[in-house]
């Protein structure tokens, strides 16, 4: 792997660098504009330059002081945490069953699990909406969490990792009298660390960024998530762009920070998942 597989000629290289730079600028310039605007005083909001000449925290002050943004953050954070923990627990147990045992019906059940990957929310929204209405779950965390507990791609990914794990170690543990659950907990899971970390982050980002489902089942401000809150700002305080961009900055910050912690693995897991935010 010493040399590059293909070495484009110089003119091509220059042309591609220009294209890539332009594409990167199309990503970075709007981001700089958003973050810059979040720190701009009111009289600079309409300036073309992204940099505030007199940076201020006033936008953040209004965001937290005059809106319920803190509550939205709490709703997003708490539901993301609860949902991802439950999704992981469910996926780990199922993946272990698929990886460890071959039993009557396992192929069919695995096919059904994979099949669910191609069913987007919009295909099941009507019956679940009716269900949630009957349960009286509108505007609750339960409506955000419970219909989304099964994560087929997480099961698939963990099963792949578990199947590459040496069976002898699990068999040895069971010969020593450990039950399958102990073997899973004490031997399998500690060895899945990096995969689990990346999966946790991808599931969390997916949940934090979600729009369609919360929009369907949440109406009152009390249960609003960050994403719903940002949309409301665009509709309600259409004038206060400083506070809006402060909200946009804060809503994106956790995702970007977490990403830079485990960059490479997260990109790999995203590729495996087919989730695209």
Partner 1 sequence: MDGTTAVAAARPPVRAGRPRFRGLVPWLYLAPLLAPLILFVYWPLLHTAWLSLVRWNLQPGQATEFVGLANYAGVLESSLFADASWNSMIYVLAAIPLKVLLPLPVAVFLWSLGRAGGTYRTILFLPTLISFVIVAVVVGWMLNPIAGHVTALLSWLGMGFANPLATPDGAIITIIVLSAWKVFGFNVLLYLAGLASIRRDLIEAMRLDGASDWVILRRLIWPLLSPTTFFVLIATVIFSLQQVFTPIDILTEGGPENGTTNFFYMVYQLAFRTFDIGRGAAGTVLLFLLLLVITLLKLRVLEKRVHYQQ
Enumerate residues 212-271 that contact partner 1 by CB under 8 A.
212, 215-216, 227, 230-231, 233-234, 241, 244-245, 248, 251-252, 255-256, 259, 263, 267-268, 270-271
Count of C-beta atoms within a 10 Å radius of residue 217: 21
Q: Are 197 and 262 in contact (CB under 8 A)?
A: yes
User: Among residues 204, 208, 218, 269, which is the contact residue for partner 1, using CB under 8 A?
Assistant: 208
- State which residue, 9 or 193, has the beta carbon closest to partner 1: 9
Among 31, 42, 58, 88, binds partner 1 (CB under 8 A): 31
Q: Which of residues 116-145 bind partner 1 (CB under 8 A)?
A: 116, 118-120, 122-130, 133
Encoded one letter per residue, x for contact with partner 1 by CB under 8 A and - for no contact, window 178-207 reads: --x------------------------x--
Name which of 71 and 268 has its Cβ closer to partner 1. 268
Distance of CA 89 to CAs 93, 186, 242, Å?
A: 6, 15, 41
In whole angstroms, give the CA distance from residue 200 to residue 269. 10
Record the tokens describing residue 204, joined without a space: 């969390």
Query: Which residue, 46 or 177, is less far from partner 1 as judged by CB?
Result: 46
Task: Report the half-sphere exposure of 111 (CA within 13 A, side-chain side).
Answer: 4
Q: Are 211 and 276 in contact (CB under 8 A)?
A: no
Q: Is 155 exposed, middle or buried (0-12, 13-18, 19+ CB in 10 A)?
A: buried
Pick the binder of partner 1 from 14, 57, 149, 169 (CB under 8 A). Answer: 149
Site membership for partner 1, residue 22 (CB under 8 A): no
Smallest gap from Cβ 251 to partner 1, in A, equals 6
List the one residue from 38, 63, 99, 198 that touches partner 1 (CB under 8 A). Answer: 99
Contact region with partner 1 (CB under 8 A), list: 62-70, 77-85, 94-102, 185-193: 94-102
CB of 1 to partner 1, least distance (A): 7
* CB-facing half-sphere around the CA of 218: CA atoms within 13 A: 27
Q: Mark 242-265 as b/e (b = at least 16 C-beta within 10 Å).
A: bbbbbbbbbbbebeeebeeebeeb
């Amino acid at each position: 792997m010493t040399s590059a597989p293909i070495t484009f000629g110089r003119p091509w290289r220059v042309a591609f660098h220009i294209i890539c730079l332009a594409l990167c600028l199309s990503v970075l310039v709007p981001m700089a504009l958003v973050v810059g605007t979040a720190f701009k005083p009111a009289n600079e909001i309409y300036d073309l330059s992204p940099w505030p000449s007199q940076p201020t925290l006033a936008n953040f002050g209004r965001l937290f002081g005059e809106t319920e943004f803190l509550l939205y953050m709490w709703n997003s954070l708490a539901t993301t945490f609860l949902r991802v923990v439950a999704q992981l627990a469910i996926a780990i147990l199922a993946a272990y069953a698929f990886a460890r045992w071959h039993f009557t019906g396992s192929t069919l059940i695995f096919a059904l699990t994979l099949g669910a990957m191609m069913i987007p929310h919009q295909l099941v929204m009507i019956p679940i909406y009716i269900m949630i209405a009957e349960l009286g779950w509108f505007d609750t965390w339960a409506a955000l969490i419970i219909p989304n507990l099964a994560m087929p791609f997480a099961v698939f990914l963990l099963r792949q990792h578990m199947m590459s794990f040496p069976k002898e170690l699990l068999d040895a543990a069971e010969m020593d009298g450990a039950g399958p659950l102990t073997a899973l907990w004490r031997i399998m899971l500690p060895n899945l660390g990096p995969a689990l970390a990346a999966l946790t982050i991808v599931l969390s980002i997916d949940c934090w960024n979600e729009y369609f489902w919360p929009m369907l089942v949440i109406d009152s401000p009390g249960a609003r998530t960050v994403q719903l809150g940002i949309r409301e700002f665009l509709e309600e305080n259409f004038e206060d762009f400083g506070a809006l961009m402060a909200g946009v900055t804060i809503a994106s910050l956790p995702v970007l920070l977490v990403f830079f912690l485990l960059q490479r693995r997260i990109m790999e897991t995203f590729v495996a998942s087919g989730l695209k935010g």
